[in-house]
Amino acid sequence: MGQKSIDLCISPALFHLYDPRGKAVVVVDIFRATTSICAAFDHGVKEIIPVAGFEEARQYGNKGYLIAAERDGIKPDFADFGNSPFNFMKQGLQEATIVYSTTNGTKAIQLAEPADEVVIASFINLTAVATHLARSQRDVIIMCAGWKNRFSLEDTLFGGALAEMLLKHHQFTTDCDATNAAIDIWDTARKDLMAYKAKFAHTHRLKKLMLDDVVGFCLTPDQTRSVPLYSKGRITV
């Protein structure tokens, strides 16, 4: 098996600079969309339909679908619940279909559609994602969902953790500056991830909204073996 390449794209607004065809795109939105999706499948959810706009989510709601939605951390009235992973881990969601719309994550997932495979990743399924990618022949692009198209420290940090695992233990190589930068950031942060979280602008955003109960959960690696995949408008495992 030849060496597969790793690229890291730090914002969906730069994704057009990469060619995802024939590759695996790994979508990352640590706070909180991709963590929530991984948690959902670990708790028996059947499928998640990501939608970018609220109007589309509302229409699904009118048809009786369960709706999870959030903009800037706030749940809109028409949604059944917001963006916290804890919402997706409740009793009664086994075998459920959930329609999901968020500020950054769900848009990034849809953007990755031209890839051969779209993988939903977060710290909670880090090793499972690395193992999954190692088994495939595909080159990898890690796409950070970011914050309104800006650089997001926690997403890039995760990109570094995943890239380091792929380079160290599997047949991967990289000549991508963003990947090398992300690995250095991960190398600085890993020594004390819970202290490092104070650097994330998003930690402070969540704290202001009293939504920061999820931070520790979102930064704890390997809580599930689920590897959700997005294809043809739906996320399943």
Binding-site ranges for a second copy (CB under 8 A): 8, 10-11, 13-14, 17, 147-153, 156, 175-178, 180-181, 184-185, 187-189, 199-202, 204
Are the C-beta atoms of 40 and 93 separated by less than 8 Å? yes
CB of 188 to a second copy, least distance (A): 5
Question: What's the token pair of residue 16?
Answer: 């057009």
Q: Which is nearer to a second copy, 122 or 224 (CB)?
A: 122
Q: What is the CA radius of gyration of the chain?
A: 17
Q: Which is nearer to a second copy, 198 or 210 (CB)?
A: 198
Dist CA 203 CA 214 (whole Å): 10
Dist CA 70 CA 99 (whole Å): 12
Q: Which is nearer to a second copy, 95 or 175 (CB)?
A: 175
Are the C-beta atoms of 234 and 100 separated by less than 8 Å? no
CB of 202 to a second copy, least distance (A): 8
CB of 207 to a second copy, least distance (A): 12
CB of 70 to a second copy, least distance (A): 19
Q: Which long-range contacts (CB under 8 A, 24 or more apart) does 54-63 make?
A: 54/78, 54/101, 56/101, 57/99, 57/100, 57/101, 60/99, 61/99
Q: Which is nearer to a second copy, 149 or 236 (CB)?
A: 149
CB of 214 to a second copy, least distance (A): 18
Q: Which is nearer to a second copy, 148 or 234 (CB)?
A: 148
